[in-house]
Structure 1
Amino acid sequence: MDNKDLVQKAGSELFIDRDLGAIDRWWAADYRQHSAMVGDGPEALRGLVENVPADFRYEPVRILADGDLVAMHGTYYGFGPVPLVAFDVFRVADGKLAEHWDALQPAVAETASGRSQVDGPAEVTAPEQTEASRAVVMGFVEAVLKGGQADRIGEFISSEQYHQHNPAVPDGLDGLGAALKAWAEQGITVEYGTVHRSVAEGEFVLTQSEGLLGGKPTVFYDLFRVDGGKIVEHWDVVADIPESLPHGNGLF
């Protein structure tokens, strides 16, 4: 069983079948948690599952595997009054889920682009381009998102196609420019700091970063699709970094 299958099987048995024995089968005894929603270790996970509502469900859309990391992109229903779009990242060790990070953001009914926060291509079709895709995305993150070199956006993002799934940003380079200008006029600054990890497979690259949004500590999960050496699509989840967590491991 590969890591993708392991993560999917573990999640299905625990959250869909509500089989608490799945924790013993698929989670490491020293399971390390970074989520803001649950404490450390298998027992905290057991308590979470025992208390989720009967109508709780998760709808996965994308899954990427990169070495010992598996990233999932999908939507949770039943955690609150509105669905939550989420990225989950798991580290697999010795056939068990050993570590977990996530970020969740409320789903919205309408976005600036007319696309949903999760729709679009989902299957990896070009596994041979993994490292080339990662290089393009990391170049963009370092130069533009961290370095503030907005004049270099065209080096990394396609001028012919840029499909956007951020709720507030329209499609295209012009849409991105308009959104950045509007935020600046409102005094909303976006500052990327440390990029903690990337998960890449084929044409998809997910980055996990921390920084400031309007001066508030923020976690940024950005998923990019690369085609022809340029970024052609973007999804994200942006969430506040809370002052306290139910564990001592931090969000990263």
Structure 2
Amino acid sequence: MSAKEIVIQLATALFSSFDPEAANALLDPGYIQHNPAVPTGAAAIVGFVPALEQSGFQADTHRVIAEGNLVVLHSTFSNAQIIGAETVIAFEVFRVADGKVVEHWDNLQPAVPADQTANGNSMTDGAVEVVDLEKTAENKALVSDFMADVLYGAAPQKITEYISTESYTQHNPMVGNGLEGLGKALAAMAEAGQPMAYSETHLVVAEGNFVFAASEGTLGEAPTAFFDLFRVEDGKIVEHWDTLSTIPAEMAHENGKF
């Protein structure tokens, strides 16, 4: 099986069929966990499966992106009070080795309904099809350069070289569509004393027209994890999804958020 197939089977066992035996067969016993609230090791997550089933937990995966041994799932979790809110938007990253899932990162954010967002979009709607596989390396380089120049501040004036000035669909609930919406949101955050700053990107996963990045930084003074997904079309970023969460000082393991 490919890494993508292994991860899809694991997600099904954990979140849909609630099958601890099937999940355990796909997990390395030394599974490295980065979710701050879950202890490390396969036994901890497998042991959580019955509680998920009893809670009525539901998972709906919208996008799957894979590069090498890394697989990214973009999902909505419903009836998810057991993990913090009724509806949660999740980015999860799984690392596969020797046919087993050996490591997991995620970033969860309570969902904001589409009729309450600044852009009128939901946090998960939009394009889902992976295309332009031959442009994977090119698109990954574009997004990496965008992050260096714009998000890290090396050359923010170059933003129009990366983001389409004609069509830029935003799914962050606090940000309007288009470059104008992004500029207004960043200015408003700074004025409110909550500037957003990226300090390090730990993972970048690209497949065709989608490029995912997992980064850390600050929102205001709070240590924050930024998981971003970009869609590229004709050499420009045309769509963006993300989740943000505060990085807690104490975790259920010693692996860190990243």
TM-score interval (norm. to shorter): over 0.9
More divergent stretch after superposition (221-230 vs 140-149): 140-149
More divergent stretch after superposition (147-156 vs 68-77): 147-156
For the pair 1:130 / 2:131, whether they are aligned, the reply is no
The aligned counterpart of 2:73 is: 72
Structure 1 runs not aligned, ≥5 long: none
TM-score, L = length of structure 1: 0.97
For the pair 1:172 / 2:173, whether they are aligned, the reply is no
Query: For residues 222 and 124 of structure 1, what CA distance do their matches in structure 2 show?
Result: 16
Q: What amino acid is aligned across from residue 96 of structure 1 in structure 2?
A: K
Query: For residues 48 and 243 of structure 1, what CA distance do their matches in structure 2 show?
Result: 23
Aligned-residue offset at 1:136: 0.7
Match of 1:221 among 216, 227, 230: 227
The aligned counterpart of 1:119 is: 125
More divergent stretch after superposition (73-82 vs 190-199): 73-82
Secondary structure in 2 aligned to 1:38?
coil
CA contact (8 A) 1:30 1:42 kept: yes
Query: How many residues get paired?
Result: 252
More divergent stretch after superposition (179-188 vs 58-67): 179-188
Aligned-residue offset at 1:251: 0.7
**1:88-99 alignment runs, 5 A limit:** 88-99=92-103
Query: For residues 65 and 27 of structure 1, what CA distance do their matches in structure 2 show?
Result: 18
The aligned counterpart of 1:191 is: 197
Aligned-residue offset at 1:3: 1.4
For the pair 1:206 / 2:222, whether they are aligned, the reply is no
Query: For residues 196 and 155 of structure 2, what CA distance do their matches in structure 1 show?
Result: 13
**1:45-56 alignment runs, 5 A limit:** 45-52=45-52, 53-56=54-57
Q: Which runs of 4+ in 1 moved over 3 A?
A: none
Aligned-residue offset at 1:15: 2.3
The aligned counterpart of 1:23 is: 23
Q: What amino acid is aligned across from residue 102 of structure 2 in structure 1?
A: A
For the pair 1:103 / 2:107, whether they are aligned, the reply is yes
The aligned counterpart of 1:4 is: 4
- Percent identity over paired residues: 46
Structure 2 runs not aligned, ≥5 long: none
The aligned counterpart of 2:168 is: 162
Once the two structures are superposed, what CA deviation does each residue of 1:66-118 show, in whole Å capped at 9, x if it has no partner? 00000000111222142000100000001111100000000012211101000
RMSD, aligned CA:
1.1
Secondary structure in 2 aligned to 1:76?
strand
CA contact (8 A) 1:38 1:48 kept: no
